[in-house]
Amino acid sequence: MNEDQIRGLDSLGPLAIVDGKLTVSDEPGLGYHFDFDALDRTALNKITVTEKFG
């Protein structure tokens, strides 16, 4: 991580660094809601999965 990324850790919402400690959500999974529209807009490449395995 670079210094800008470290400084941004306090703005991660439920996963923020508070008083030097990482706070975690009690929601299932990572507890972080990704902005999938923003990820789609900025993706360098996309892959579409059309089959299920298992």
Angle, CA of 9, 13 and 19, to the nearest 5°: 55
How far is residue 51 from each of residues 32, 40, 43, 45, 46, measured CA to CA in Å?
27, 21, 22, 19, 16
Quick check: helix, strand or coil at residue 27? coil
Mean pLDDT of all residues in 9-26 = 70
Stronger pLDDT, 20 or 1, i.e. the higher one: 20
Sign, CA dihedral 24-27-29-30, equals: negative
Which of 21-25, 29-33, 39-43 is predicted least confidently? 29-33
What is the percent of the chain where pLDDT is above 70? Answer: 63
Domain locations in the chain?
Answer: 3-42
Q: Which DSSP letter does residue 17 get?
A: E
